[in-house]
Amino acid sequence: MTLPSAEASAPSPPKGGTIRISGSSTVFPITGGVIRAFRGTSAGANVRFELLETGTSAGFRDFCSGKVQISNASRPINSEELKTCTARGVNFIELPIAFDALTVAVNPRNTWAKAISTAELSRLWRRSAEGKIMRWNQVNAAWPATPIRLCGPGKDSGTFDYFNKAINGNASDSRRDYTSSEDDAVVVNCIAKDPQALGYLGFGWYASNTNKLRALAVNGRKGLVSPSVVNVQNERYSPLSRPLFIYINDSMLRGQDDVRRFVKFYLQKGPQYVKQARFVPLPDATYRLVETKLYRNVLGTSFGGDLPVGLTIGQALARSFSQLRQPVAR
């Protein structure tokens, strides 16, 4: 999706005056809200934006090739993407902006499924289930012997990576016979149109569509817990809670005044748009640490190319700011 006044996508590196952002559809509504607010200020009135909802992996491909100044991400950058960025001389600042609760949802007309375990999710979604686990009673014997329709993110989505790592132990261990898209709106509509459907998506997308979707409680590491802001903040919704990020190209941040002003605005005003998009805000004191990371120009990732599944909020934040205790890169 492209916001009004956006220019067409171009393979050449972005120039000053147009800020190009691609990546996660989960982070998309947060960044979109910040953009609309920024364009209402004197500093942003004449800035053009191109905001693309491509999925985290595709966003990192654009980012590491220098096509965009900012990448929305629903997982940390991985080791292959790090190598690509390094090979192409792209240095970056990694900024956590919110938390998410990956939500397993069904159609509101579903009368039988109220909760699901991580073991049942794995039985349903792992690669070996493809073409075999096709009915509800194959997941849970108490459920009806009717066909199940599956809806979920495409393979370029960070939500896809995180869910499969958390549930199946490997980011790529997923069945392929389901309706997939990097656009969460497609996943919402897939579930909403079919009483036999089940899917997974970011919490903000579920919370903004409660008239179309019903969330299942997940029986995981902390017992049976429903996805909610409170349960993520209390560190009970495990292993399906995760941090969300924006990545900033360092040379473009330094060389383009519009980018610098926008990123500062994002960190100052972002928390209210995290709430508006129905995701889980970081603690207020943490946003000040995020600003410190930007102002000190702390480069690189705190996650070493790893996909950290099952971290508590405290652990994820400690990892995110570990670089602040190290000498600042110059």
Helix (H, G, I), strand (E, B) or coil at 231: helix
* 16 has pLDDT over 50: no
Task: Pick the closest to residue 317 from 79, 33, 94 (CA basis).
Answer: 94
- Look at residue 20 in the predicted model and tell me its pLDDT: 98
* pLDDT mean over 256-281: 94
* Domain 103-226, CATH among 3.30.70.260, 3.40.190.10, 3.40.30.120, 3.90.79.10: 3.40.190.10
Whether 327 has a pLDDT exceeding 70, the answer reads no
Given a cut of 60, is residue 273 above it in pLDDT?
yes
Domain 18-98+243-325 has CATH 3.20.20.100: no
pLDDT beyond 50 at 53 = yes
Average confidence (pLDDT) over 79-98: 96
Please choose, from the candidates 70, 65, 67, 66, the residue with its C-alpha nearest in 3D space to the C-alpha of residue 23: 70
pLDDT at site 15: 47
Q: What would the pLDDT profile of 293-309 be if each residue is shown by its tens digit?
A: 999 999 999 988 888 88
Select, from the ranges 256-270, 274-288, 310-324, the one with the highest average predicted confidence (pLDDT): 256-270
| Helix H or strand E encompassing 149 | strand 149-153
Mean pLDDT over residues 131-136, rounded? 98
Pick from 120, 252, 127: nearest CA to 178: 127
Q: Burial of 230 by CB count in 10 Å (0-12 exposed, 13-18 middle, 19+ buried)?
A: exposed
Of 2-6, 67-71, 84-88, 130-134, minimum mean pLDDT range: 2-6
Give CA–CA dist 168/189, Å, rounded: 25
Nearest to 162 by CA among 230, 223, 244: 244
Range(s) within the chain of domains with CATH label 3.40.190.10: 18-98+243-325, 103-226
pLDDT score at 323: 76
pLDDT of residue 4: 38
pLDDT tens, residue by residue, 140-198: 999 999 999 999 999 999 999 999 999 999 999 999 999 999 999 999 999 999 999 99
CA atoms of 284 and 141, how far apart (whole Å): 45
As a three-state string, the secondary structure of 263-275 is HHHHHHHHHHHHH
